[in-house]
Amino acid sequence: MAPNPLPEWQRAHGAPLFTAQIRRHPEDFQVTEILGWELSGDGEHDYLYIEKSGANSQWVAKQLAQFANVPLKDVGFAGLKDRHAVTRQWFSVPRWNTPDWSLLKVAGVRIDRCERHLRKLRRGAHRSNTFAIVLRCSEPLDRDAITHRIGRLSAQGVPNYYGEQRFGRNGGNLRLADDWANGQRLPREKRSMAISTRRSYHFNNLLSDRVAQSTWNTLMLGDKANLEGSGSVFDFSDIDSVLQARCEAMDIHPSATLIGDGSECEPVQWAAALARARVQPGNRSLRLKVQDLEVEMEEAEVGESTVTLNFSLTRGAYATAVLRELCLWS
């Protein structure tokens, strides 16, 4: 097996408290998508609320396109959901051929609701995701330490790292990204993945530096401020008491640049590659607010304990950013 090239990015809340197994069963990792807005009830798109297990979102979209006899590009979904989990999310499909969804039979896929809406569901159109995660441990649990750590995560948030899955198995997407930056031609979808991977890696490195400096949750001159729960950012020239209070209340967060055309970055070929591709720089919050965080601890079997976490995160955030501040896992 190739070594994992990813660094051990800094943790903000101390060393992991225990080691656990995740995803022993698909139902140990559950994700529910929250749109945060109302469907119109009419229009030319069927909106399907689907529970799936053992299938990723792209594969499900392909099955829906084939069943409805429409191009795959016209099937919409808001966020990519993992295959190794039980997930619930919306898909949109044009009604051109008025499919009878009661006849769809796909292993691991169940349509729970079917509604209508005026427009296709776009990526990132949802508000948040809720998580229910079971961590299975073979070692005794320090209940007091875990309870205290959970309180810190709720009150202070966590560093908003991109999850390891962003970088592929053993960081393989990073090697793909460097191949592209060095001139290798890639299909459009893989080129997009390569760019996203390198931008995410650069962001995680910046965030890790801020965590090491204990400034990941503090506004600094030169930052842009990110409004909680949105992609909106704004500049500021002075950090007054009002801004400081809003940051402490997690109404706003410090953010860092997602590199693009004109950004300074290493290695230098990446700056040139981003300029050639005309990738626009962006911003991402350094801090992630963990909402409605609850924990249950119990002895599940002889020699095994379980820690069950329930929480909500804004769209684009990774549950592993929360887990890594609590435990190690396999």
Average pLDDT over residues 215-234: 94
Distances (CA, A) of 125 to 78, 120, 210, 231, 242: 5, 10, 30, 12, 31
Over 150-201, what HEC string results? HHHHHHHCEECCCCHHHHCHHHHHHHHHHHHHCCCCCCHHHHHHHHHHHHHH
Is the distance from CB of 38 to CB of 236 less than 8 angstroms? no
The per-residue pLDDT for 211 is 98
Q: How confident is the model at residue 300 (pLDDT cuts 50, 70, 90)?
A: low
DSSP state of 220: -
Among left, alpha and beta (phi > 0; psi -120 to 50; other), residue 124 is left
Average pLDDT over residues 112-123: 96
Residue tagged active-site, from 82, 179, 223, 240:
82
Q: How confident is the model at residue 139 (pLDDT cuts 50, 70, 90)?
A: confident
Helix, strand and coil in the chain, % to nearest 5: 30, 30, 40
Let me know if domain 160-288 sits in CATH 3.30.70.100: no
Distance between CA atoms of residues 5 and 11, nearest Å: 18
Architecture per CATH, domain 37-125, reads as 2-Layer Sandwich (3.30)
% of residues, the chain, pLDDT over 90 = 81
Q: At residue 310, does pLDDT exceed 50?
A: yes
Distance between CA atoms of residues 319 and 133, nearest Å: 9
40-49 residue pLDDT tens: 999 999 999 9
**Higher pLDDT, residue 170 or 66:** 66
Is the distance from CB of 223 to CB of 254 less than 8 angstroms? yes
Q: What is the mean pLDDT of the chain?
A: 93
Q: Which one, of 133, 130, 95, 85, lies nearest residue 116 by Cα? A: 95
Q: Which one, of 53, 32, 48, 31, lies nearest residue 108 by Cα? A: 53
Give 14-80 as a DSSP string: -S--EEEB--SSGGGEEEEEE--S---S-SSEEEEEEEEES--HHHHHHHHHHHHT--GGG-EESS-
**Higher pLDDT, residue 189 or 129:** 129
37-125 and 160-288: identical CATH topology: no
Active site residue 82: yes
Q: At residue 302, does pLDDT exceed 80?
A: no
Indicate the pTM of the whole model: 0.93
Burial class (CB in 10 A: 0-12, 13-18, 19+), 139: exposed
User: Where do the structural domains in the chain lie, given as residue ranges?
Assistant: 37-125, 160-288
288-297 residue pLDDT tens: 999 999 999 9
Q: How confident is the model at residue 82 (pLDDT cuts 50, 70, 90)?
A: confident
Q: At residue 104, does pLDDT exceed 70?
A: yes
Lowest mean pLDDT segment, chosen from 41-50, 59-68, 147-156, 263-272: 263-272
202-220 residue pLDDT tens: 999 999 999 999 999 999 9
Q: At residue 263, does pLDDT exceed 80?
A: yes
Distance between CA atoms of residues 116 and 2, nearest Å: 47
Q: At residue 3, does pLDDT exceed 80?
A: no
The per-residue pLDDT for 4 is 64
